[in-house]
Amino acid sequence: MKKNKEYNRRDFIRSGMRLSLALSLGGIGGLALRKHTSEEWVWQIDPFLCNQCGRCATECVRNPSAVKCVHAFDLCGYCDLCGGYFIPDPIKLDTGAENQLCPTGAITRKFIEEPFFEYTIDEELCIGCAKCVKGCASFGNGSLHLQIRHDLCRNCNQCSIARVCPSKAIKRVPASEPYLIKGNFTRS
Partner 1 sequence: MNKWSKISIILVIILISPVVLAQQRFPKPEFESEYTQPSPTIPEPRSISLEYFDIFVLLAVLTVAAWFILKSRSRKGLLWLSVFSLIYFGFYRKGCICPIGAIQNVALSFSDPGYTISLIVLAFFLIPLILTLFFGRTFCAAGCPLGAIQDLVIIKPLSMPSWLRKPLGIIPYIYLGLAVLYAVTKTDFIICRYDPFVGIFRMDAPFHMVILGISFLLMGMFIARPYCRFLCPYGVLLSWMSRFSKWHLSITPAECIQCKLCTTSCPFDVIEEPTKEKIEPGSRIYLRRFILYALFIPLWVVIGGYTVSRASVILARANQDVYLAELLIAHPELREDPDNIDIQIFLASGKSMETLVEEAQVIQKNFRTGSWILGGFLGLVIGVKLMNQVIFRRRNDYEPHRGDCFSCGRCMDYCPVK
Query: In the range 95-134, which residues lie near partner 1 by CB under 8 A?
Result: 112-113, 116, 118, 120
Across 27-62, b (16+ Cβ under 10 Å) vs e yields eeeeeeeeeeeeeeebbbbbbeebebbebbbebbee
Nearer residue to partner 1 within complex by CB, 97 or 151: 151
- Pair 114, 127: CB distance under 8 Å: no
CA angle 177, 39, 160 (to 5 degrees): 75
The single-letter code of the amino acid at 68 is: K
From 45, 56, 57, 79, residue interacting with partner 1 (rule: CB under 8 A): 79
- Pair 134, 119: CB distance under 8 Å: no
From 108, 109, 122, 139, residue interacting with partner 1 (rule: CB under 8 A): 139
167 near partner 1 (CB under 8 A) = yes
From 1, 4, 5, 89, residue interacting with partner 1 (rule: CB under 8 A): 89
Minimum gap (Å) between residue 95 Cβ and partner 1? 19
Report CA 27 to chain centroid distance, whole Å: 34
From 42, 126, 130, 170, residue interacting with partner 1 (rule: CB under 8 A): 42
Minimum gap (Å) between residue 151 Cβ and partner 1? 4
From 8, 12, 29, 105, residue interacting with partner 1 (rule: CB under 8 A): 29
Q: Which stretch binds partner 1 (CB under 8 A): 91-99, 100-108, 124-132, 175-183?
A: 175-183
Minimum gap (Å) between residue 120 Cβ and partner 1? 7
- Pair 67, 147: CB distance under 8 Å: yes
From the CB of residue 21, how many other CB atoms can be counted at a distance below 10 Å? Answer: 10
Q: Which stretch binds partner 1 (CB under 8 A): 55-63, 94-102, 125-133?
A: 55-63
